[in-house]
Amino acid sequence: MDVAIVGGGPVGLFIAASLSRMGYSVTVFEEHSDIGNPSHCSGLFSGHILEIVGGKERRGVLKATSKAEIVAPDGSSLQIQSTTTKVYVVNRVEFDRSLARDAINKGAEIRLKERVRAVSKGFIKTSRGEYQSRIIVGAGGINSVVRREIMVSAPRIIGAAQVIADYHYEDEDLVRIYVGNKIAPGFFAWIIPLGDDVAKIGLASYGNSWLFLKRLLKRLNAQPLSVSGGGIPVSTVSKTYGNGMLIVGDAAGQVKATSGGGVYPGLKSAQCAVRTIEIALESGDYSRAAMKKYEDCWRREIGKELSNAQYIHRQYRKIKDVDFNNIVRELNRPDMLKIINEYGDIDYPSKVVWKLLKKNPRLIKYTRIIARK
């Protein structure tokens, strides 16, 4: 085969569809028996994701929303209503399956229930057999077997817990975010309404996320219908290529550390992977130097925003509850809200942060307090 892809998540499937469309022979190995399951994701997607994959109407979009509320530890809140950007609540299982259908329709083979145990240059050993491939792509998420082969340390991971819950909601179009160290230390909690008094309620944190989530559910009087959890990378890895190999998506830590959203940066990086692989297959050069073009590409396209997000995340971790309350108060001004509503973009959070600091220098005080800690 030309390309073997370890992992049938959104990143691996997108690469498979793109390369098969160009006429290459591609096989995806997925350890589970069902594409999309088990799903750990909240399915909150920016419009950029749907632009990359196209065909919005068949990607499991449940609804669009542009409203969010951020709740501070003291209960005060900030209501955001974007004038420019919409986010989409997406059925992630349907989303992944739609990408799998694209890949199959273009000629890719998806081998379910086949776990890749080991890889080396041009060679794959799975739970069912052994294969040869000109290029191997590691898109297996946080526990990447390909990352191990290219001898790169794993990204930093934080734990997330989520439930689908029976929960009465006043506004079915509003995504609610809770910040604070007693709610979700180092990260945040979320409620994403799915409709008909059902919502996804989850959180990620530097503590025991299940314990914090249980407390939140009790406080909200929400009854879980199903539970899931997973790890979210909050740092990118030092190197994402090897001899005839690449790692993409969560495997490479290509996730926004501010929000935990990994699908957009994963797909942006996947586009770079596709371009690099096409050139390599055409030239027959799969050396490290040829594969490095992928790393140059994704760092140029999305690397700066990912490292800005990591910086903001590191500062955010140091914020005390009293400062969260003050920051929410400072942002709750018409001029601040106007900037958030106009420039807020979950895929490019640093843009709005710099604009807010410029407009309201009082906020700089908090960045200084944080920087001192």
Residues contributing to the site for ligand FAD (CB under 6 A): 6-12, 29-32, 40-45, 115-116, 139-141, 143, 145, 160, 162, 202, 230, 232, 249-250, 255, 260-264, 266
Least Å distance between CB 76 and ligand FAD? Answer: 25
Q: Which amino acid belongs to residue 240?
A: T
Q: CB–CB of 217/197 below 8 Å?
A: no
Distance CA 34, CA 30 (A): 9
Least Å distance between CB 26 and ligand FAD? Answer: 15
| Nearest position to ligand FAD, beta carbon | 262
Query: 220 vs 232, which CB is nearer to ligand FAD?
Result: 232
Distance CA 371, CA 224 (A): 39
Q: CB–CB of 266/46 below 8 Å?
A: no
Contacts 24+ apart (CB under 8 A), 258-263: 258/309, 258/312, 258/313, 258/316, 258/349, 259/309, 259/346, 259/349, 260/160, 260/187, 260/204, 260/232, 260/234, 261/44, 261/45, 261/46, 261/346, 261/347, 262/232, 262/233, 263/10, 263/41, 263/45, 263/49
Query: 11 vs 327, which CB is nearer to ligand FAD?
Result: 11
Query: 71 vs 247, which CB is nearer to ligand FAD?
Result: 247
Least Å distance between CB 372 and ligand FAD? Answer: 32
Q: How far is CA 341 from the centre of its chain?
A: 22
Query: 151 vs 371, which CB is nearer to ligand FAD?
Result: 151
Least Å distance between CB 220 and ligand FAD? Answer: 17
Least Å distance between CB 362 and ligand FAD? Answer: 32
Structural tokens at position 88: 């989409």
Distance CA 248, CA 139 (A): 5
Distance CA 183, CA 214 (A): 10
Structural tokens at position 267: 């797909």
Query: 160 vs 277, which CB is nearer to ligand FAD?
Result: 160
Q: Which amino acid belongs to residue 5?
A: I
Least Å distance between CB 355 and ligand FAD? Answer: 23
Query: 256 vs 366, which CB is nearer to ligand FAD?
Result: 256
Least Å distance between CB 232 and ligand FAD? Answer: 5
Least Å distance between CB 281 and ligand FAD? Answer: 21
Name which of 126, 134, 106, 100 is nearest 281 in CA terms.
134
Query: 140 vs 349, which CB is nearer to ligand FAD?
Result: 140
Query: 96 vs 290, which CB is nearer to ligand FAD?
Result: 96
